[in-house]
Amino acid sequence: MKNRLFKFSLLILVTSVFISCSKDDNEEVQAQVEVTGKWNITSAESNFESQGDNTNSTFDLAKDNLFIEFNSDGTYTSNAEFGIGELALNPNGTVSNTYTYNNGRLDLKLIESSLKKEVILYFHTSSGSNSLILSSDINDLLDAYNDQVNSFDFLTSTLIDATIKSYARLDFTVTLTK
Task: For 55-83, write each residue's pLDDT tens digit.
Answer: 888 889 889 999 999 999 999 999 988 65
pLDDT at residue 147 is higher than 90: no
Question: Where residue 86 falls among pLDDT bands split at 50, 70, 90?
Answer: low
Residue 42 is predicted with a pLDDT of 93
pLDDT mean over 81-98? 75
pLDDT at residue 13 is higher than 50: no
Question: Where residue 19 falls among pLDDT bands split at 50, 70, 90?
Answer: very low
Measured distance CA(65)–CA(3) in Å, rounded: 21
Please tell me which residue, 9 or 92, carries the higher pLDDT value. Answer: 92
Percent of the chain having pLDDT more than 90? 22
Residue 51 is predicted with a pLDDT of 76
CA distance to 6, 16, 48, 151, 161, per residue, from 155 (Å): 21, 18, 24, 12, 10
pLDDT at residue 94 is higher than 70: yes
pLDDT mean over 134-152? 77
Measured distance CA(175)–CA(66) in Å, rounded: 11
- pTM over 0.95, yes/no: no
Residue 26 is predicted with a pLDDT of 41
Q: Which amino acid is at 156?
A: T
Q: How many CB atoms lie within 10 A of CB 23?
A: 12
Please report, in angstroms and rounded to a whole number, the separation of the first and last CA atoms in the chain: 27
Q: How many CB atoms lie within 10 A of CB 159?
A: 13
Residue 22 half-sphere exposure, CB side, CA atoms within 13 Å? 12
Residue 21 is predicted with a pLDDT of 41
Distance of CA 146 to the CA centre of its chain: 17
- 117-128 and 105-112 beta bridge pairing: antiparallel
Question: Where residue 84 falls among pLDDT bands split at 50, 70, 90?
Answer: very low
Provide the 3-class DSSP secondary structure of residue 127: strand
Closest to 134 in 3D by CA, of 101, 105, 100: 105
Highest averaged pLDDT of the listed ranges 18-22, 35-39, 140-144: 35-39
pLDDT at residue 18 is higher than 60: no
Q: Is the CB of residue 104 less than 8 Å from the CB of residue 144?
A: no
